[in-house]
A and B are shown apart, each in its own frame.
Chain A
Amino acid sequence: MTAPRIVIVEDEPITLQALRMIVMALGCEVLTASTAEEGLELALQTPRPDAALVDLKLRGSSYDGLELIRRLVKHPVLEGLRVLAHTASVSEDQRRAAQQAGAHGILLKPFRARDVAEALGPAVTERERS
């Protein structure tokens, strides 16, 4: 049994660090990126990841998290990838935009370890089951 592979895209280093720690504690293999381009590249590596956790606001990228989600969801190779957004914004518009972009859910900051587990839940349990 191989561990589930999770891609985390986050431009804020401490948050990235915290997410990596929590996800690794859940027994997953973690790939981290701080820009959208890097995130897409990681997602396309083999073996394919099981889930991607994408920050909607990505400083220093040529396109934002929403666009990355769109590309991940539409990519023919990445069918079945669980794509999750996370954001510090509470605006309804952001949530709706993420949903329309094709994300499976949104993780609102501030979050706790169990919120991350809940968000990744299906991807982790699926892999465990297989």
Chain B
Amino acid sequence: MNLLRPIRGRPLRLWLFLLLLGAMLVPLGISSYATIQQHRRELSRIEGASLSQAMGTARLAERYLVFALAQARHAVEGLSLAERRSPAVLRRLVSELPILAAIDIVDKSGRPVASSRTGPDAGAVEDRLMAAATVVERRPRASGYVESLSLGRPVVSLCLPLPRPAGGNLGACRLVLRLDFLLQEFVSQTRSTDQFYIFFVDQRGTLIAAQNFRPGRNLQNLEPVSRLLSGKDGSVKYVSNFFGDLVDGEERLGAYRHIGDTGWGIVVSHPATSVGSPVLQDLRAMLLTIAVSGIVSLLLAFWTGRWLLGPLEDLARRMDQAAAAPPAPPDTLPRAPEGVTEYRQLEMAYASLTARIHAQFQQLAETNEGLGTLVQERTRALEDANANLLERGLALEEVNERLTALVCELRRMDALQTDFLANVSHELRTPITFITAYGSSLEDGLLGSLTPAQREAVGFMLEGADRLTSLVDDLLDLNRLESGVLALHPEAVAPRALIEGVVAAMRPLATKRAQRLTSAIEPDLPDLLADGERLAQILRNLLSNAMKFTPDGRSITVRARQEGEHAILSVCDEGIGIPAQALPHLFERFYQVDGSSTKAFAGAGIGLNIVRHLTELMNGRVTVSSTEGAGTTVDLLIPLAGPAADRGGESRGSGAFVPFGSYPA
């Protein structure tokens, strides 16, 4: 494995750089934010201060003007009636008060009485109308710039009602004012800097006096003026426009105030930008600081990385080399910073690991060598054995194939045998039927009455037919039992009815030989779990055997009793008995006690074999005991039916007709 190949993930150097940068930038950011907040607060404080300064200036200018107006009014009202009519006196007053440009006096119907002015403009129509209105309304009226224009000079005037010295309305005086002179005088007295602009506007927002400004300009669009026109005093921060202010687009602070009850207003304004610059300077300094921090972090990260990671990378490279090649004994240790404990531990661990691997590797190599020889030896032995086995395997395979073929053949033959037997059974039954059908007809007298000799002959024919039938049946049963296709139908069977039925059917045969055939059945013997038909077959088989080997005149008894979970059905005869050495073979197929060609008793030797098969299929057992010359007892051990078992129908006995269910009505 190559440790130096590209591995997913970010290098530790990058993490270090980011860590250091973060460590520098985060406090910087926090302090910058605090500074900006402070600047913002400072700015609003400065703004507030300069606004209140402008407001103060406006208030001062207003007082200055109001005082000057009050002085002029007082001077005119202090004149006697005669002095009021004297142009000379009026001219003296104008020269004494620099705010005044001229004084006109009118009577109570508005006609001019006297004027400081000489010339045709003394009696301008508008002036007269204003003076008349002042007289009627008995309150001062201030002219606007437009009214003043009719005088030919852009000056504004103030009309004051003049009461008689002793009371009563006499007329009015019109004071033509020199507001620009007043303004300049105020500015020089307050020593305002050039940054301040002071305007006087009339009732319509037209400029009537300003520093370095020609009157007549309409200032209605200027924000402080429009606020003034809506009747308020106050201050505002606004953006100047070319038509109203000096510098277009400049942010300015302005205070606005009405002048007494003249309807005129005063606006004091100065630029707002003068206090905003420090914040920008701070921002620039901050950006510079960030850049410097970044570079410093990068350098620090590079240096730290080299110092911390160099040894680690070195170790990784050495381990990689060690993994690629057989390990060499540890000679040199990686150079690590003296002071780092963890690196020392790593080095020591690596050194001990390398040493152990080296030792194990050497041991392995030695073992390997030994093993190589061993493996060679074993391989040779195995190869020999293998060749041997292969030969034997081939032989075995051949045998196997032959065996398989043999089994197949045997199976085929078995099936053939079963088919053959079934077929033979069927084909034998038909001719037997000829005998039984006609024989029984003869015997029953259906074809006319017989002589005793004829009747006896027919009886023998029928007996022969019966023997043939049971032999065919036995052969077929045996074959089916051995090939496992015979199915039993176990059910609850009443033992008494079954045994007595079979005994009754067999009795005529016994009677012919004067044998006593009886049954002795224990009372209250429970039902058996058995195939009734097959159990009857077993009993018939045993009984015909017993009858065969019992001399005439002796007795044969069928007994039945309960023993635990089973019933024991016994067939006891007083026959010739069976030799002890023959007993173990009695139930074998085709076995006969007397196998000689001169034997006294006929039989194929399959009856008892079928009995054993059938009994075992019913989970029963058959045993035999015998005393030669005294008799034989065959015991059938048959299981009892539990209380839940179905009660089957009666066995059909030995008749050839089997009815299905009940007859139709």
Q: Do A and B come from one complex?
A: yes
User: When the two chains form their complex, are residues A110 and B656 in contact, meaning their CB atoms are under 8 A apart?
Assistant: yes
Residues of B within 8 A of A22 (CB): 437, 441, 446
**Pick the contact of A18 from B441, B656, B657, B658 — CB < 8 Å?**
B441
Q: What class of interface size applies to chain B in its complex with A? A: 35 or more
> Please, which residue of chain A has its CB at the minimum distance from the CB of B429?
A88
Cα distance, A109 to B661, chains bound together (Å): 20
**In the complex, A113→B458 CA distance in Å?**
14
* Known A18-B441, A21-B441; contact A109-B430, beta-carbon cutoff 8 A: yes
Q: Is B434 in contact with A18, judged by CB distance below 8 angstroms?
A: yes
- Bitwise, B425-439 to A at CB < 8 A (1) or not (0) is 111011011111111
A108 to B444, CA, bound (A): 20
Taking CB atoms, residues of chain A closer than 8 Å to B469 are: 110
Query: B465 touching A110 by the CB < 8 A rule?
Result: yes
How many A-B residue pairs have C-beta atoms within 8 angstroms? Tell me.
Answer: 100
Contact of B660 among A15, A105, A108, A116 (CB under 8 A): A105
6 pairs from A and B in contact (CB 8 Å cutoff): A88-B426, A88-B427, A108-B658, A110-B465, A111-B433, A119-B659
Which of A30-38, A40-48, A89-97 is found at the contact surface with chain B? A89-97
Determine if B52 is an interface residue (Cβ-Cβ < 8 Å): no
- In the complex the two chains form, what is the Cα distance from A91 to B447 in whole Å? 33
A39 shortest CB reach to chain B, Å: 19
* A interface, CB within 8 angstroms of B: 12, 14-15, 18-19, 21-22, 25, 80, 82, 88-92, 95, 98-99, 103-116, 118-119, 122
Q: State A12–B473 Cα separation when bound (angstroms).
A: 22
Q: Contacts A25-B441, A92-B487 given; indicate if A104 touches B659 (C-beta within 8 A).
A: yes
Does B9 interact with chain A (Cβ within 8 Å)? no
Q: Does B27 contact A (CB under 8 A)?
A: no
Contacts known (A88-B426, A90-B425); A113 close to B660, Cβ less than 8 A:
no
Which positions in B face A, CB cutoff 8 Å? 422, 425-427, 429-430, 432-441, 443-444, 446-447, 462, 465, 469, 473, 476, 487, 655-661, 663-664
The chain A residue sitting closest to B662, CB to CB, is A104
| Cα of A119 to Cα of B446 in the assembled complex, Å | 17
Chain A residues near B433: list those with CB within 8 A.
Answer: 15, 18, 88, 109-111
Give bound CA distance, A34 to B512, whole Å.
41
B656 touches A103 (CB 8 A): no
Interchain CB contact (< 8 A) of A80 among B434, B660, B664: B664
Docked pose: A106 CA to B439 CA in angstroms: 21
Residues of chain B contacted by A19 (CB below 8 angstroms): 437
Q: What residues of chain B lie closer than 8 Å to A95, measured between beta carbons?
A: 658
> Hey, which chain A residues are within 8 Å of B657, CB to CB?
105-108, 111, 115-116, 118-119
A111 touches B660 (CB 8 A): no
Give every chain B residue within 8 A of A111 (Cβ-Cβ): 433, 436-437, 656-657
Q: Sorted from nearest, which 6 A-B pairs have the closest CB atoms?
A: A112-B440, A18-B437, A111-B656, A25-B446, A88-B429, A110-B433
Q: Is the CB of A106 within 8 A of B441?
A: no
Q: Inside 8 A of B432's CB, which chain A residues have their CB? A: 109-110
A90, B476: Cβ atoms under 8 Å?
Answer: yes
**Looking at A80, A89, A113, which has the most chain B CB atoms within 10 Å of its CB?**
A113
A12 to B427, CA, bound (A): 12
When the two chains form the complex, which single residue of B425, B437, B439, B655 contacts A15, counting CB atoms closer than 8 Å?
Answer: B437
**Contact between A104 and B436, CB atoms less than 8 A apart:** no
A106-B462 Cα distance, complex, nearest whole Å: 22
A110 with B429: CB separation less than 8 A: yes
Tell me the bound Cα distance from A107 to B659 in angstroms: 8
For the complex with contacts A21-B447, A88-B433, 18 further pairs of A-B residues with Cβ separation under 8 Å are: A80-B664, A88-B429, A88-B430, A90-B425, A98-B660, A104-B659, A104-B661, A105-B657, A108-B656, A109-B432, A109-B433, A110-B469, A111-B657, A112-B440, A113-B440, A113-B443, A113-B446, A114-B444
A12 in contact with B430 given A90-B476, A104-B660, A104-B663 (CB within 8 Å): yes
